[in-house]
Amino acid sequence: MTNNNFLDNTSLFALLYKWRKKIITISFAAAIIAAVVSLFIINKYKSDVILFPTMNLSTGKALLNENNDFLEIGEEDELEHMMQILQSNDIKQRVVTKFDLINHYDIDTSKEKYYADLMKKYDEHVEFGITKYSSIRIAVLDKDPQMAADIANEIASLIDTVMNNLQKGMAEQGYQSLIKERDFIVGKIKIMEDSIAKIRAFGINDYESQSEVLNEQWAVAKIANNHSAALAIEKKLAIISKYGGLYVSVREQLNYIRGNLNHMNKKINEHKLTAEDQLEHKFVLNYAIPADKKSYPIRWLIVLTTACATALMMIVLIALKEKLKQLKQS
């Protein structure tokens, strides 16, 4: 038997047979200890909510645009958006306050960093995930099955509150910004309307049609040798020639800015409606109910894992012991 080929030349079965009683005894003892210890682990129950996010489309957009369904099931962007909302401090604080989780989790508030301990406990008991069916799963673990179900359902219900508040804040901010921009546009329109009024004081009301008519009248006057009429028309044409280009330019700008104002008013109404929205941002497929059976701990798995790990560790130690024994003998 060589040192280099110990594992190849030594019968593993023979080794296990030689030490079988000790391996079985110690593994069994470890399993018993694990079973006893597991009895002191508090049972915890899990409750789940399964939901789908709906398209984040406000009532304002739905009413002011065609072919929009604001209850349409959302896709990847909505999933990621909702996951961020679920993990927000806003929802955490509301849940902690409503269910008095500081006391429920036995958090020592005398510690300087007790809030970090609270959030750690919260994250250990509350988890979120995206399923393979593109739904969101809210899972809550708690020693009280009713509490687990209540927390899961409360988190689901808070989605609308938090998202509507977020949407309202953004809409109100946009609304105020648009109002300022609209006031600026209205001021520009007033200036242009005043300019148009001053030009019209010179008798220019419709440059194109007036110019056409006056040119025809001038031609008739010339043919009729009516010099005084032709002279009077030439004076009018001179005024139109002097101010006509400016009139057309200001008029075109005014029409363009009025179009912008109409679009601006539409956006303002959209933001106003959005700020007043109280939409459902989710479709709940399954609400949480109190679990009949515990989810944690799985005692048989603890016992089995402990026994197997102990047996494996024993085999490794025995193999090392035999190896050292051979090295001393060589």
91-146 tens-digit pLDDT: 999 999 999 999 999 999 998 889 999 999 999 999 999 998 889 999 999 999 99
- List CB contacts of 164: < 8 A, sequence separation 6 or more: 277, 278, 279, 281
CB of 252 within 8 A of CB of 212? no
Q: What is the pLDDT of residue 9?
A: 46
Q: What is the pLDDT of residue 223?
A: 84
- Alpha-carbon distance 35 to 40, whole Å? 9
The 126-130 sheet, strands edge to edge: 126-130, 136-142, 45-53, 282-286
- Other CB atoms within 10 A of residue 83 CB: 15
Q: What is the pLDDT of residue 154?
A: 95
List residues bridging with 156 in a β-sheet.
none
Q: What is the pLDDT of residue 11?
A: 62
Average pLDDT, integer, range 302-317: 84
List residues bridging with 129 in a β-sheet.
137
Which sign, positive or negative, has the C-alpha torsion 280, 281, 286, 292? negative
Q: Is the pTM of this model over 0.75?
A: no
Domain boundaries, the chain: 12-41+297-313, 179-275
Q: What is the pLDDT of residue 12?
A: 66
**Candidate from 11-15, 130-134, 220-224, 301-305 with smallest mean pLDDT:** 11-15
pLDDT digits (tens, 9 = 90+) for 11-45: 667 777 777 788 888 888 888 887 888 676 677 88
Q: What is the pLDDT of residue 102?
A: 94
**Percentage of the chain with pLDDT > 90?**
24
Q: What is the pLDDT of residue 276?
A: 67
pLDDT digits (tens, 9 = 90+) for 142-179: 999 999 999 999 999 999 888 888 877 777 787 788 88
Q: What is the pLDDT of residue 211?
A: 79
CB of 49 within 8 A of CB of 286? yes
